[in-house]
Amino acid sequence: MFYRLSGTYHTSYEADRKLWKIPTDRWLVVAVLLLALLAPLYVSPLYLGSYVLPWVIWSAAALSLTLLMGLAGQLHFGFAAVMAIGAYASIHLVRFGVPFELALLLSGLIAAVIGAVFGGAALRVKGLYLVMATLAMQYLVDWVVVNVPAISGGAHATLRTPAVSFLFMPVESLAARYWLALGWAVLLTVFFMNVKRTSFGRALVAIRDKDFAAAVIGVDPFKTKLMAFFTSSFMGGVTGAILAFCFYRAVTPEQFGFNVSIQLVAMVLVGGLGSVIGSWLGAGFVLLAPIFLTNLVSGLAAAGWVPVSQNFLSHLPLMIYGAMIIGFLLLEPLGLAKIYDNIRKYFLVWPFRHARS
């Protein structure tokens, strides 16, 4: 009723290959996109600056990572390091005099090249060993950033982003920074939805499902895995640069530590591996849930409803965050994307009960 059809029945291959198989989905996306574009007009600076903006940027990061983890099945526990390379490269390039637009691309390329080198480990191992190898990469990059003052920015290891403009729009006001970040995130989203329908995307999926089998049907695992790391690191590198210029505007090594890598993996998993909507929902959930919990708990404490120590209160969000990761993995391993899908299917055929996707 809500979707004005009783399920999806395709009569041609074109219809089945469509990005939006149901018109209502398309209108929903257009509506959300419009709402997102106009957000600076109706969302207060508090929410735009500290909720919506980081959500959009981290969604882009989660999309970059889920290309690797969800589509190509290559685990990566050092993705924050990739973003750090992009962030630091972009700042140094802009300071060197490279125009911002070009610096974004170049920083993505630098991150992609270094990321692909580390992805080399993936050519040899997979699963747990790949987790460990990328973890080691995280520590190596951290060390280089902290120990080379020329990269990290001298005594205080804080690097401020220079004033820049993107296509003649100064990246200064909150709205401008938000639009730039949104533009990048939307671009990644569109890319991600379409890459699944290309030969490259199908090669990635084949590698994920079984790399030996993929080799048998003519997909070169060597090339495809490297391409996966390269593409994903490029996206991650540019996202890191966007994060530096649009959100933090002063970069320190701690912003790209190991715990950030874990957060990114949590976003991808809680959202649902390899899902576009899951990346958005997962990023929002993992990023904002601790913040909401902190505020809620502090609010309750201020009202005197939870008579416990400050120490316990401040650790409570951490506990709930850990418990939520565990809970998702145990109860809904397919993540928020699956929950969204269930709801959508319910409404697809409402008031009846059963649906085909």
Of residues 172 through 211, those in contact with another protein by CB under 8 A are 210
Residue by residue, DSSP assigns 37-62 as HTHHHHS-HHHIIIIIHHHHHHHHHH
**In terms of Cα–Cα distance, which of 14, 143, 15, 17 is closest to 78?**
143
With contacts defined by CB under 8 A, name the span among 175-183, 187-195, 315-323, 348-356 that binds another protein: 315-323
157 binds another protein (CB under 8 A): yes
C-alpha span between 263 and 293 (Å, rounded): 16
**Cα end-to-end distance, the chain, whole Å:** 15
How far is it, in rounded angstroms, from Cα 204 to Cα 197? 11
Kindly tell me which residue out of 59, 232, 317, 337 binds another protein, with binding defined by CB under 8 A: 317
Write the Ramachandran bin of 4: left for phi over 0, alpha for psi from -120 to 50, otherwise beta: left
Query: Closest CB to another protein among 157 and 349?
Result: 157
State phi, psi for 124 to the nearest 5 degrees.
Answer: -105, -40
Site size toward another protein (CB under 8 A) is 92
Closest CA to 123 of 229, 47, 49: 229
Nearer to another protein, 1 or 291 (CB): 291
Cβ at position 147, least distance to another protein in Å: 4
Residue 60 in contact with another protein, rule: CB under 8 A: no
Separation of CA 172 from chain center: 23
Q: Which stretch binds another protein (CB under 8 A): 105-113, 135-143, 179-187, 226-234?
A: 135-143
157: left (phi over 0), alpha (psi -120 to 50) or beta: left
Q: Please say which residue, 230 or 247, places its beta carbon nearer to another protein.
A: 247
Considering the complex, state which of residue 8 and residue 255 has its C-beta at the smaller distance from another protein: 255
Task: Identify which of residues 111 and 283 has a Cβ nearer to another protein in the complex.
Answer: 283
Residues 253-312 contacting another protein, CB under 8 A:
253-255, 259, 262, 265-266, 269, 273, 284, 287, 290-292, 294-296, 298-300, 302-303, 309-312
Site for another protein, residues 13 to 52, rule: CB under 8 A: 32, 35, 43, 45-47, 49-51
CB of 123 to another protein, least distance (A): 9
| Residue 192 vs 285, nearer CB to another protein | 285
Using the minimum distance from each CB to another protein, give the nearer residue, 47 or 352: 47
Q: Verify binding: residue 323, another protein, rule CB under 8 A.
A: yes
The answer for 335, left when phi > 0, alpha when psi is -120 to 50, beta otherwise, is: left
Under the binding rule (CB under 8 A), the answer on residue 133 touching another protein is: yes
